[in-house]
């Protein structure tokens, strides 16, 4: 006869049908609760689309699409009002482009350096710097751009730009001269090589220096009428987009794996050759995704452009002239809503939602592209 205690225990372990049903029910309830909470983010995305579209739609109903996308006349409070947003859209594109020019090369180089060049201990120091750069609130960047950077740019713009030019162009020129003179002398006999190389190098460097001095002369003469312009905003937005670009491209570079690197080293390549010819091409899609995310951040940023872009609804002449003030979509929404709020239901109110819709569509589009690229990259890595 079995021990009664064992019987008791086994009764506890084997659930009655009822208890088992209850348990299954509660677990189902729990699961569906969890699912519902999780789908809040889906609902949020859906509602954002629905509500922005719902308020943007009346604008297109009243004014049509043509004016919004093709005219540069932005006089929302004029009589009759005009809602040509082309110059504002170009403004957004221009500062995003400027930010990309700053952030992408710097960010990719920094990511390469972090993942392959720096020793572990230095990397531990550099990582928090990037994190802090990402953590500083956008309004602090905007304040810096408006209160410190803009006056500096206005008064010493020529000098600042010249210093930047020399800092970037001089090392590049020296390097290019070395490589080119090396390539030039490759064909001639060994005995005459050093002399030829020296001559070639000196001519090239001399030419480059002459061009630089000429260029900086032009830059020094430059007068910047206002420090709050597209250049200011582009630089600050570039700095703000850097952390995104760096961390995402570093992940991509890390994901490439050791075997490719070791294979390349085994063939006698230097580290630079390995990185440029093997690793960066292998991680190219990840780096592209990183750049898109960085640009997205720049386009969606509000405070910096609102405070420091000058807010002039115009297309600079010529269009790449970053020294002129511009106005962006985000700044227009932020700036005009205060006045448009009182005229609920007018085109003036709804045009801001139309702008938000354009921003939203752009961010969805670039998000989709970067996800798609990223997914392809990951599956290729996984597949070897």
- For other proteins, give the closer residue by CB, 73 or 166: 166
The nearest distance, CB 6 to other proteins, in angstroms, is 16
What sign does the CA torsion over 46, 49, 53, 54 have?
positive
Helices (H) then strands (E): counts for the chain: 17, 2
- For other proteins, give the closer residue by CB, 231 or 356: 356
- For other proteins, give the closer residue by CB, 122 or 214: 122
The span from the CA of 94 to the CA of 331, in Å, is 14
The nearest distance, CB 79 to other proteins, in angstroms, is 26
The span from the CA of 226 to the CA of 157, in Å, is 10
- For other proteins, give the closer residue by CB, 262 or 371: 371
- For other proteins, give the closer residue by CB, 73 or 300: 300
The nearest distance, CB 302 to other proteins, in angstroms, is 4
What sign does the CA torsion over 339, 341, 344, 347 have?
positive
Measured CA angle at 146 (ends 164, 342), to 5 deg: 140
The span from the CA of 290 to the CA of 100, in Å, is 11
The span from the CA of 359 to the CA of 300, in Å, is 7
The nearest distance, CB 253 to other proteins, in angstroms, is 11
CA gyration radius for the chain?
A: 29
- For other proteins, give the closer residue by CB, 172 or 320: 172
Nearest to 238, CA basis, from 301, 283, 284:
301
The nearest distance, CB 330 to other proteins, in angstroms, is 5
- For other proteins, give the closer residue by CB, 25 or 139: 139
The nearest distance, CB 31 to other proteins, in angstroms, is 6
Nearest to 369, CA basis, from 300, 301, 286, 297:
286
The nearest distance, CB 329 to other proteins, in angstroms, is 8
The nearest distance, CB 351 to other proteins, in angstroms, is 12
- For other proteins, give the closer residue by CB, 7 or 337: 337
Coil, strand, or helix at residue 327?
A: coil
Buried b (16+ CB within 10 A) or exposed e, 107-130: bbebbbbbbbeeeeeeeeeeeeeb
What sign does the CA torsion over 161, 162, 167, 172 have?
positive
Nearest to 319, CA basis, from 98, 153, 140, 103:
98
The contacts of residue 255 (CB under 8 Å, 6+ apart) are: 283, 286, 377, 378, 381
């Amino acid at each position: 006869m079995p021990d009664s205690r064992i019987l008791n225990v086994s009764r506890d372990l084997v659930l009655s049908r009822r208890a088992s049903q209850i348990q299954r029910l509660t677990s189902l309830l729990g699961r569906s609760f969890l699912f519902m909470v999780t789908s809040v983010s889906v609902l949020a995305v859906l509602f954002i689309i629905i509500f922005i579209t719902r308020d943007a739609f009346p604008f297109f109903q009243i004014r049509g699409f043509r004016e919004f996308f093709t005219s540069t006349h932005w006089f929302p409070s004029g009589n009759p009002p005009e809602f040509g947003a082309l110059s504002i859209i170009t403004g957004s594109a221009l500062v995003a482009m400027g930010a990309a020019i700053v952030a992408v090369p710097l960010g990719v180089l920094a990511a390469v350096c972090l993942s392959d060049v720096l020793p572990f201990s230095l990397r531990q120091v550099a990582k928090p710097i990037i994190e802090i750069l990402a953590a500083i609130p956008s309004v602090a960047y905007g304040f810096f751009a408006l209160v410190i950077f803009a006056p500096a740019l206005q008064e010493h713009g020529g000098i600042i730009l010249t210093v930047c030019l020399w800092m970037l162009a001089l090392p590049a020129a020296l390097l290019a001269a070395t490589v080119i003179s090396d390539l030039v002398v490759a064909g001639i006999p060994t005995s005459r090589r050093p002399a030829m190389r020296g001559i070639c190098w000196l001519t090239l460097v001399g030419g480059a220096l002459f061009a630089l001095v000429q260029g900086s002369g032009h830059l020094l003469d430059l007068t910047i009428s206002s420090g709050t312009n597209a250049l200011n905003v582009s630089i600050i937005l570039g700095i703000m987009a850097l952390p995104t670009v760096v961390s995402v491209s570093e992940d991509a570079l890390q994901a490439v794996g050791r075997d490719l690197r070791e294979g390349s080293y085994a063939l006698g390549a230097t580290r630079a050759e390995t990185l440029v010819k093997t690793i960066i091409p292998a991680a190219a899609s990840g780096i592209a995704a990183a750049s898109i995310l960085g640009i997205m951040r720049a386009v969606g940023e509000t405070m910096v452009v609102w405070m420091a872009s000058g807010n002039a609804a115009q297309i600079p002449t010529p269009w790449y002239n970053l020294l002129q003030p511009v106005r962006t979509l985000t700044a227009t929404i932020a700036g005009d809503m205060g006045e448009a709020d009182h005229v609920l239901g007018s085109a003036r109110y709804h045009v801001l939602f139309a702008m938000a819709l354009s921003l939203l569509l752009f961010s969805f589009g670039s998000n989709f592209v970067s996800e798609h690229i990223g997914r392809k990259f990951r599956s290729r890595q996984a597949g070897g």
